[in-house]
Every structure is written in structure tokens, then in C-alpha cells.
């Protein structure tokens, strides 16, 4: 969160008010009359009351903004809480919140009133529709006296970064490349990551995970020993996401780019959940390459990368396959995610298969996103002749979320042992505000 010093400004709304006062004074001085006197007295009294009221609004208001979560996934409920506290005996007739956040579809603009020595609390909710890095704030609280002579603006420059990750879903048509199938093996090479095969034990060295300690050997040898794992026949899985703008179709949520990111995130989550190494190779506006690894930190690294990637004038899929084949190891498997329907990229894919590397393809049916006919059936047949597993994902698919959506801020209940409904306590919020 980026914090700054809040500022409060008080300004006169109409520049003609001083001119009116000078005119009344001039008329009363040159042509004395009870009319000018009454008008001058009334204007001066109204302005004095308005100025005092505005001064109270400037010094006696406390505003706060709290957001319950710093990250979410597409489909989550983003909720914020606003609090206005009035320490003055004069009421706040109107107070408007003007927000400058960048979260798409998140509108917190609102007008409220606050009684004297009272407070007003409300919550703003919206559903996260797009992935990406966004910010909440800066924002302003605008108010003024009942006569609209003066206005008071509380400017709060606090900015809170919020990350909206792509959702993790189950795609029924998706099949993993055969190279990541479960199984056991014996290998002369030892794996750096955890696998299902334990080959032996070795002395503990700093940096080894305590979860890998082999306690029977440790007790027998009176020293820490950790397990050694055999490398699985599956090796590592690379996800190649094609985001070249020339082959994309659709817009916003219903686009091949967004569906491709969802499929890539879901596949990475499912494989990493089984503690198998996953790498990411992405073309588009920027080139992304994350080498295969396991663990929670690696999972977050892939998710952060998929949160930021966008379509762009990157290299074609054929060139991307050539680049990937130069860095892939012999035990690698490849999952290609692309809306490209031309067959130019089949030649480098054949060369990948000739090296003994297993590949699977997820085809995003671009025609279902923009209605423009494309020869998808011919590409599917060509992949079948190459014995490459291929599945198709179309627009409008109903995804089942593997990681449940957190409708944060929406009151939820659970049933206790006695059958009574109990509200689930919400976590403590993180707030930004100013006195």
C-alpha cells in the first residue's frame, strides 16, 4: 500500500459572492436604504454561518476505507467498508465519495448524510470480472454547507494494490499429456523435487525440507537423514500458451485469450497439486518463461505471471515451439494451448514428437467466440494422424471451480450440531483511512 498525507481543502463555490457584498456595501453607502441594509445583513449572516459550518466539516470529520482482501480470483466478491464519523454537533447534510480506483466495474461512488456527533457506515460490493493488477484509491470525500456557499474536499491519497488471479477450474475436455501420468519407476538420476518413488536416504544438509526427514534411519543412525526420490517417467510438464494477437478471437471475458489463461492456470494447479514440476512458456505482449519446479512459491509465481499476460504481437506458435524445443529436457512433456487453426505449427510439433517428447493440445475454438468460420476439424484430424491428443474448448463453457470462489463479505452460515444456523465469522479487515 502506498500512503500519503491526507489533505483537506475549503473553497468558495461562487466567485461572485464577494462582488455582491461589495455592491451592497456601495449601494448602502451611496444610497442608504433599509432594503440594502437588510440584504447586506442577511448575506453576511448566511456567509458567516456557512463558513463556520464548513470549518466544522473540515476539522471534525474522520473518514476510513477498509478492504477485506488484498487478492482475489475472477468471480470473487470484492467488498470494501467506508466509515464517516462526525465529531461536530453540526450535521453533515451531504457527503459524496469520489473514487479513482482502477478495478473494472467496481463503483463505490455514493452520497450519504451523517447526524451531529454520529457516524455512517456502509459497504460497497462488486464481482471481480477481469484478472490483473489493480489499485483501490486514491479517493475523495466531498461535502459542504447546506447553503452551498463553501465546499470541503478531503483527499485521501492512499493506494492499495489488489491482484485478481485467473480462476482455477475443472475443464472436462482437458486431458493431460501421457508424460505426466502417474506411475513408479527406478532411475539412475535423482530428482530434485518430491516424487512418488523413494530411492534411498542421505545425510541432511542445510536447506532440506524437514518433511523429507526419514525418522527411522535418523533414530538408528543418531543423525538427520532425508529421503532421496527417483525421477518419475513423466518428468516435467511445460505449458505453452499461445497469445499471439493475430490468432485471438472474442473480447473481454468471452475471448480466446481469457479462456487460454484459465485453462493454463487450471492445468498448472492440477499438476502442481500432485507435486509434479510445471513450467510456463507464454508468447504475446511479453515473452514469459518460467522453468519447471514445484512448491507453493512456484505455484504463486505461475499464477502471478498468468495474471499479467496479455495478447500482443509476439512470435507465431511455430516459432515458439522451435524456441521451446531448444530448452526442453528429454523427460519433458508439453501442453499446447492455442486458438491457431492453421497447420504451419504442426511441423515443429512433429519434430518435438520425434525427439520422444510427449505433447497434448488444447484447441480454443475461435469460431465460437467471433462467429468467423475456421477449419478446426481439419486441424483436429491432422493432430489425430500425428497421434497427438487434442481437446477443444468453446465459448460459453460452464466451468466448475476447483478452488471455491470466496464470496467475501457475503454473510454465510453453517449448521451446528444442534441444527442451529451459525454465521461464519469474517476475517479481520485491512484498512486505509485518515483522521
The answer to whether residue 262 sits within a structural domain is yes
Helix/strand/coil (H/E/C) assignment for every residue in 19-67:
HHHHHHHHHHHHCCCHHHHHHHHHHHHHHHHHHHHHHHHHHCEEEEEEE
Q: Residue 153 and residue 58: Cα distance in Å, rounded?
A: 8
Q: Are residues 47 and 150 in the same domain?
A: yes
Q: Are residues 221 and 349 in the same domain?
A: no
The answer to whether residue 423 sits within a structural domain is no
19-to-13, 26, 40 alpha-carbon distances in Å: 13, 10, 12
Q: How many domains does the chain have?
A: 3
The domain in which residue 217 lies consists of 198-228
Q: Are residues 176 and 212 in the same domain?
A: no
Q: Are residues 222 and 244 in the same domain?
A: no
Q: Are residues 366 and 321 in the same domain?
A: yes
The tens-digit pLDDT sequence of the chain (435 residues) is: 445 678 999 998 887 777 777 887 777 788 888 888 888 888 888 888 999 999 999 999 999 998 877 778 888 888 899 999 999 999 999 999 999 999 988 888 899 999 999 999 999 988 888 999 999 989 999 999 998 889 999 999 988 889 999 998 887 655 566 454 444 444 444 444 444 344 578 888 776 777 788 888 888 888 888 877 654 445 789 999 999 999 999 998 899 999 999 999 999 998 898 888 999 999 888 889 999 998 888 999 999 999 999 999 888 999 999 999 888 887 788 999 999 998 999 999 998 888 878 889 999 999 999 888 888 888 999 998 888 888 899 998 888 877 666 554 444 445 555 545 555 544 444 444 433
The answer to whether residue 328 sits within a structural domain is yes
Q: Are residues 319 and 376 in the same domain?
A: yes
Beta strands in 115-263 (DSSP E): 119-127, 132-136, 139-144, 150-156, 160-165, 169-170, 198-203, 225-229, 237-242, 250-251, 254-255
pTM for this predicted structure: 0.72
Write the CATH number for 75: 2.60.40.10
26 contact partners, CB below 8 Å, separation of at least 6 = none
The answer to whether residue 379 sits within a structural domain is yes
Q: Are residues 224 and 319 in the same domain?
A: no
Q: Residue 8 and residue 102: Cα distance in Å, rounded?
A: 23
Write the CATH number for 376: 3.40.50.410
Using CB atoms within 10 A of its CB, is residue 163 exposed (0-12), middle (13-18) or buried (19+)? middle
Q: Are residues 84 and 153 in the same domain?
A: yes
Amino acid at each position: 500500500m502506498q500512503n500519503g498525507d491526507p489533505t483537506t481543502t475549503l473553497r468558495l463555490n461562487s466567485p461572485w459572492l464577494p462582488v455582491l457584498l461589495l455592491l451592497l456595501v456601495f449601494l448602502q453607502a451611496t444610497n442608504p436604504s433599509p432594503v440594502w441594509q437588510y440584504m447586506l445583513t442577511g448575506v453576511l449572516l448566511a456567509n458567516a454561518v456557512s463558513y463556520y459550518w464548513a470549518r466544522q466539516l473540515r476539522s471534525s470529520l474522520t473518514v476510513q476505507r477498509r478492504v477485506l482482501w488484498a487478492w482475489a480470483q475472477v468471480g470473487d466478491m470484492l467488498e470494501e467498508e467506508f466509515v464517516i464519523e462526525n465529531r461536530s454537533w453540526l450535521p453533515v447534510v451531504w457527503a459524496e465519495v469520489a473514487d479513482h480506483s482502477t478495478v473494472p466495474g467496481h463503483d463505490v461512488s455514493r452520497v450519504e448524510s451523517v447526524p451531529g456527533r454520529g457516524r455512517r457506515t456502509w459497504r460497497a460490493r462488486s464481482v471481480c470480472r477481469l484478472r490483473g493488477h489493480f489499485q483501490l484509491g486514491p479517493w475523495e470525500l466531498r461535502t459542504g454547507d447546506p447553503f452551498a456557499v463553501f465546499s470541503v474536499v478531503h483527499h485521501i491519497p492512499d493506494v492499495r494494490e489488489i491482484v485478481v488471479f485467473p480462476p482455477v477450474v475443472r475443464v472436462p475436455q482437458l486431458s493431460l499429456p501421457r508424460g505426466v501420468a502417474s506411475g513408479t519407476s527406478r532411475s539412475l538420476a535423482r530428482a530434485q523435487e518430491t516424487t512418488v518413488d523413494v530411492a534411498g536416504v542421505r545425510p541432511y544438509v542445510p536447506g532440506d525440507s524437514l518433511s523429507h526427514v526419514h525418522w527411522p534411519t535418523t533414530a538408528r543412525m543418531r543423525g538427520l537423514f532425508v529421503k532421496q526420490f527417483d525421477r518419475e517417467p513423466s518428468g516435467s510438464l511445460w505449458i505453452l500458451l499461445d497469445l499471439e494477437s493475430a490468432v485471438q478471437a472474442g473480447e473481454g471475458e468471452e475471448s480466446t485469450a481469457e479462456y487460454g489463461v484459465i485453462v493454463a492456470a487450471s492445468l498448472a494447479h492440477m499438476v502442481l497439486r500432485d507435486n509434479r514440476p510445471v513450467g510456463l512458456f507464454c508468447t504475446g505482449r511479453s515473452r514469459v518463461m518460467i522453468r519447471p519446479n514445484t512448491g507453493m512459491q512456484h505455484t504463486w509465481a505461475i499464477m502471478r505471471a498468468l495474471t499479467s499476460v496479455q495478447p500482443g504481437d509476439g512470435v507465431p506458435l511455430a516459432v515458439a515451439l522451435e524456441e521451446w524445443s531448444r530448452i526442453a529436457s528429454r523427460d519433458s512433456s508439453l501442453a499446447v494451448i492455442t486458438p491457431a487453426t492453421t497447420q504451419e505449427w504442426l511441423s515443429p510439433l512433429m519434430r518435438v514428437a520425434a525427439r520422444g517428447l510427449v505433447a497434448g493440445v488444447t484447441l480454443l475454438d475461435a469460431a465460437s467466440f467471433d462467429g468467423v468460420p475456421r477449419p478446426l476439424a481439419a486441424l483436429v484430424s491432422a493432430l489425430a494422424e500425428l497421434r497427438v491428443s487434442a481437446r477443444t474448448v468453446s465459448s460459453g463453457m460452464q466451468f466448475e471451480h476447483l478452488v471455491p470462489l470466496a464470496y467475501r463479505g457475503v454473510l454465510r452460515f453453517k449448521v451446528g450440531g444442534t441444527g442451529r444456523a451459525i454465521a461464519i465469522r469474517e476475517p479481520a479487515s485491512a484498512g486505509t483511512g485518515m483522521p
